[in-house]
Structure 1
């Protein structure tokens, strides 16, 4: 298992428990970026002539990894860009269901537009709250995070499938930024209509790259309006009026999107089964120890499925003390957010437990 730490030199300096804020840049991705910029430095437009082929490779890699046909994969710089583009594609005034206190880049983007907005509470009865609000309010869209950014509360795929079966006309739009890269995910079987994600966290792809996955049924239900030179360039975007091209209007950075392909290759080489096995082991150990010490909100312990992202009781003074001991976390909400990925180890957790005196 220690072999999983190779290629992440920052782990030699810190106990890094902060992937929920920023994932690590793997050595293989760094090497790709060095080689890419050297090529650009030496070849300029000769390299950029290959831009279409490079982006096609990225699109197909994303599609294979998430079980979504490449002609339904749009490449975007980040979640917020992609999500805002989707919102601009929705006729107003549609009714949108949100989760109260969900990730600001979701809720702020919806609330700033002319939508009718209703909310479901995030608590131990999250799934029941969602169903009750859909039955009562009959929204056109439901936009939400698969994993909550503050406390790691997770909506699992089985619930999403049941939700879609029960409410087939509600368009489900999910943010996967705090989820994708932690376990295998079959988009076409998930029940989601649209999934959007940045890739700088659990995908370990660096900044400036993301994607949107679309279900076949979405075309005709939203009307993207962006157009530019990039909208018509490359495989899968061969004609004017195509769908995914309207989410890709400009020239794209092959450095950043090429990094995403290398990061996906690394996840596949490591093996998603092994990655999820390692994460599950670590999160189980952490949850049990945090619970025994009374560091978690009681209601979160009532949920069977959970992520490897936790919010433990603590203030800025404790946060700074942990940082002083080389333990990297984040201040979020009313506590300290701790998150662990497959390259973390039980030794990392034991250092944290020792520092917390639990």
Structure 2
């Protein structure tokens, strides 16, 4: 796996522990993007004539990558835009269950549209909290991030399947921005009705691209009746009026979605199983060391399974010190967030602890 580090020039000068904030550009993706724009430079509108066919192949790549061959896929500029469009098609009289520490693009979007909201607490027993909240409040929709962006707590995938079996009529919407690209995943059997993701983090797809995957017939159920009625009697081409067009309005950028497809192929060539194994090894090592050094919250210590995102005790001064040591992290919540991808190494983690020792 170390051989892939040469693909990422930033790693030669920095200890990059910040994929949860932004994935990094790599050599072959830069080459692809340069070739794309050279073709556009030479071809102009001729280059764009095959855009619809090309974007269809991007959807096929997403479907294959995430185990969603029989699903409806729409391309969006980012998860937040897609999620807001989804909410526009859901009756605001419906009750929505949220997680209390979840990403603002989820929680604020739901609140701002006037839904009745209930919450489950994010802690060591978050799954039990979710179950209790559903039993108590009987929500129509559960919207959440698979991986919590501050703490790195991961909602158990088997638990989601159980939820769908127990509450088949509850619409389950998952933000997978901090998840996709870290392990093998099968959407069809996941129990999730709608899964969305931006692609600039673990998927390494760069900015300006993402996707929404819906189980069959779900897309129609979240489309406003007024839209369906208008499209039925519209004289316009179906590319302007179909269910996907509500999300894919306007001309989509083949550069950004081509970057996503290129990165999907890149990650596939490495192997999601290999990536998952490497991330798990790094995550276990980091978690054990953080526990020894008393830098980890009790909720994370009590969890059996965790992502590769950790939040350690620290403030602006420590953050600034780490940056001076070329160790790239993020300030999130009440601490410093560290995140590890397959291109990281045990040596990166040791460099972090060496810097923490010098600081303290």
Q: TM-score with structure 1 length normalisation? A: 0.94
The aligned counterpart of 1:337 is 337
Name the residue aligned to 1:88. Answer: 88
- Report deviation, 1:70: 6.5
Aligned residue for 2:284, secondary structure, equals helix
Indicate if the aligned counterparts of 2:127 and 2:156 stay in contact, CA closer than 8 A.
Answer: no
Aligned with 1:216: secondary structure? Answer: coil
Matching residue of 2:146: 146
Alignment of 1:251-290 (within 5 A): 251-290=251-290
- Off by >2 Å, runs of 4+ in structure 1: 224-227, 237-246
Is 1:32–2:41 an aligned residue pair?
no
Kindly provide the CA deviation profile for residues 76-129 of structure 1, in whole angstroms up to 9, marking residues without a partner as x.
Answer: 000111000100011122110000021011001001012111111111121111
Cα shift at 1:287: 0.2
State how far apart, in whole Å, the 1-side matches of 2:85 and 2:27 are.
33
Give the SS at the match of 1:337: strand
Question: Unaligned 5+ residue runs, structure 1?
Answer: 232-236
Shift of 1:244: 2.6
Name the residue aligned to 1:354.
354
Distance (Å, rounded) in 1 between the aligned partners of 2:226 and 2:67: 26
Question: Residues 239 and 245 of structure 2 are in contact (CA less than 8 Å); yes or no, is this contact kept in structure 1?
Answer: no
SS in 2 for 1:244: helix
Displacement after TM superposition at 1:226 (Å): 10
Q: Distance in 1 between matches of 2:175 and 2:161?
A: 16
Say which SS state the counterpart of residue 7 (structure 2) adopts: coil
SS of equivalent residue, structure 1 residue 207: coil
Structure 1 contact 85–224 (Cα < 8 Å) conserved: no
CA contact (8 A) 2:147 2:179 kept: yes
Matched residue SS, 2:336: strand
Residue in structure 2 matched with residue 108 of structure 1 by the alignment: 108
- The 1-side partners of 2:27 and 2:350 are apart by 26
Is there any run of 5+ residues in structure 2 with no aligned partner, and where? 232-236
SS in 1 for 2:195: strand
Residue 53 (str. 1) matches residue 53 (str. 2): yes
1:157: Cα distance to partner?
Answer: 1.2
1:24-57 Cα distance to aligned partner (Å, 9 max, x none) = 1121111111111111122110111111121011
The alignment covers a number of residue pairs equal to 350
Structure 1, 290-299 or 240-249: larger mean CA deviation: 240-249
Preserved CA contact (<8 Å) 1:329 1:338 = yes
Cα distance in structure 2, aligned partners of 1:166 and 1:353: 44
Name the structure 2 match of 1:295.
295
**SS where residue 6 of structure 1 aligns?**
helix
Tell me: CA distance 1:89–1:296, structure 2 relative to 1, closer, same or farther (3 Å): same
Q: Secondary structure at the match of 1:306?
A: coil
Aligned to 1:212: 212
Maintained 8 Å contact 2:240/2:249: no
After the TM superposition, which of the residue ranges 321-330 and 240-249 deviates more from structure 2?
Answer: 240-249
- CA gap 1:284/1:261 in 2 versus in 1, 3 angstroms: same
Task: Report if aligned partners of 1:19, 1:340 keep a CA contact under 8 Å in 2.
Answer: yes
SS of the equivalent of 2:197 reads strand
User: Distance between the aligned counterparts of 2:50 and 2:259, measured in 1?
Assistant: 15
- 1:124–1:299 contact (8 Å) kept in structure 2: yes
Q: What is the aligned partner in structure 2 of residue 197 from structure 1?
A: 197
Offset of 1:273 from its aligned partner?
0.6
Q: What's the secondary structure of 2:221's corresponding residue?
A: coil
Distance 1:188 1:208 in 2: 26
Cα displacement (A) at 1:72: 0.6
> Is the Cα contact below 8 Å between 1:193 and 1:217 reproduced in 2?
no
Deviations 1:215-252 (A, max 9, x none): 1141443115898xxx9xxxxx9677533333211110
Change (3 A) 1:255 1:240: closer
Output one character per residue of 1:156-201: Cα deviation in whole Å (capped at 9) or x when no partner: 2111101111111110000000011000110001000000100000
Give the match for residue 17 of structure 1: 17
